[in-house]
Amino acid sequence: MAIHDSMSAVAEHSIVKAISPFVIAALIGATSWMFSSITTLQNQMILFTEGKLTHIEQKLTAVAEDVDDMYELITDLRINSRLSPRDKDRGH
C-alpha cells in the first residue's frame, strides 16, 4: 500500500491540482489542431488529384487578362476625355 499512499500524496499536492487542467487543455488543443490540419491537407489533396486546382488556375489567368484589358480601356478613356471638344472634332 506504500505505492498507493505515495500516489495519493502526489495527486493531493496543490501544484498538481493547479497545473493538471492546463495540461489537459493543452493536450486537447494540440489534438484538435492536428485533426483539423490533417483534414485540411486531405481536402487539398482531393482537389489536387481531381485536377480542380489547374482549372481554378486557368480561371484566375483569364480574370487577370480581363483586368489588364479593363485597365487599358480605362487609360484610353482618361486620355480621350482630356481632349478638348475642338480637338475631338479635328480627329486628334
Residues 42 and 57 in one domain: no
Residues 37 and 77 in one domain: no
Q: How many Å apart are CA 4 and CA 12, to the nearest integer?
A: 12
What integer pLDDT is reported at residue 83 of this predicted model?
Answer: 60
Residues 76 and 37 in one domain: no
pLDDT-based confidence at residue 77 (cuts at 50, 70, 90)? confident
Residues 17 and 32 in one domain: yes
Residues 30 and 10 in one domain: yes
Cα–Cα distance list, 21 to 10, 25, 58 (Å): 15, 6, 50
Tens of pLDDT, residue by residue over 19-75, are: 889 999 999 999 999 999 999 999 888 877 877 767 777 888 899 999 999 999 998
Calculate Rg over the CA atoms of the chain. 34
> How many C-beta neighbours within 10 Å does residue 47 have?
13
> Considering only CA atoms, which of 80, 77, 72 is closest in space to residue 64?
72
- What is the residue range of 88's domain? 51-92
Residues 8 and 41 in one domain: yes
Residues 6 and 38 in one domain: yes
How many structural domains comprise the chain? 2
pTM above 0.75, yes or no: no
